[in-house]
Structure 1
């Protein structure tokens, strides 16, 4: 297990994460990247706990996702299965589990203030915190993907599923974009990763 964790986590986070996995008897599976989620927690029919986390070369994203999913397990065990998946019990548990990791031996100093702000009231996904998501992307390998907020209005872009859109105006927190094929309007997170159509 340690060798798997060493591939994906910041070095100083390996032992504390291994201890959490062992304490809570987690069966951890690292899976190919999924478009819709970074990780997943499931109570198996035999009573064991399975957590899946997307394989990513970004150790900070992997760590946040792993602790996010362990927080689901711990919150359900502490408060019962009737709680909301991302309700206050989960938020409190996530904050408590994440606190020992929020230090410069584990995270770059550029991320720590954003993480401190994020964990005052953690969201269901780090991807919905646009400032944190953009900062985390700095630690991804280079790609041909652009971040929507950085593109000028009127830019035509493509999603991984092949659909194309034209960037419109910002509406409160999200950008209103029109789908080229249908003319329908959709709202996008500012940190959505898209491919610019030349």
Structure 2
């Protein structure tokens, strides 16, 4: 396995990850940032399997994403190709694979209760777990972005793709936001990163 890949995860997790990847004989590629996903898994022609993970993730999110994608491969191998991508088989596999990593030697102590709660019923993306996603983002390199929950009512903001929105009221978990150009209503996770506009 490339040493480069190990550089992206916490040092204390490297030998466990190396053992997992050697056993599964997976192709893992580190990619440039993709705005819509942290990583993915796919079966390639000829029976090979590939995982990609974004290079811009902090070591803890990188590790979670990598194990998330390995769980897709192992669930596919164990249960076959007709399971739901994030169904019960994947959830059980992800829980099983992630459990040995949930230790204070690997993750910051303040993340462990949030991770334990998340892995009771893991979701398709850790970003939908607002508390965990926010805690993980606090460990990122500082940037000039603001979270939607920090935006004032009726304030304008834009996304990475330059689409401009106006923040509306909060529903139970998400925020209503109107796209300025089209007038369409969208629901935003509270921890979506945006750029404030005057």
8 Å Cα contact 2:5/2:30 also seen in 1: no
Map 1:45-194 → 2, pairs under 5 A: 45-194=45-194
What is the alpha-carbon distance in structure 1 between the residues aligned to residue 193 and residue 166 of structure 2?
14
Residue 7 of structure 1: aligned partner: 7
The verdict on how the C-alpha distance between 1:144 and 1:28 changes in structure 2, with shifts beyond 3 A counting, is same
CA RMSD of aligned residues (A): 1.0
| Paired residue total | 198
Structure 1 ranges of 4+ moved more than 4 A: none
Instruction: Point out where structure 2 has 5 or more consecutive residues left out of the alignment.
Output: none
Deviations 1:56-102 (A, max 9, x none): 25000100000000000000111111000000000000000000000
Q: Secondary structure at the match of 2:46?
A: coil
**Cα offset, 1:5, TM superposition:** 2.8
What is the alpha-carbon distance in structure 2 between the residues aligned to residue 34 and residue 86 of structure 1?
20
What is the alpha-carbon distance in structure 2 between the residues aligned to residue 135 and residue 151 of structure 1?
18
**Superposition TM-score, scaled by structure 1 size:** 0.97
**Cα offset, 1:16, TM superposition:** 0.5
What is the alpha-carbon distance in structure 1 between the residues aligned to residue 43 and residue 186 of structure 2?
35
What is the alpha-carbon distance in structure 1 between the residues aligned to residue 33 and residue 183 of structure 2?
30
What is the alpha-carbon distance in structure 2 between the residues aligned to residue 173 and residue 57 of structure 1?
25
**Cα offset, 1:152, TM superposition:** 2.1
8 Å Cα contact 1:2/1:18 also seen in 2: no
**Superposition TM-score, scaled by structure 2 size:** 0.97
Map 1:20-31 → 2, pairs under 5 A: 20-31=20-31
**Cα offset, 1:4, TM superposition:** 1.3
Deviations 1:110-141 (A, max 9, x none): 11010000000000001111111100001110
Deviations 1:15-37 (A, max 9, x none): 10011111000100000010111
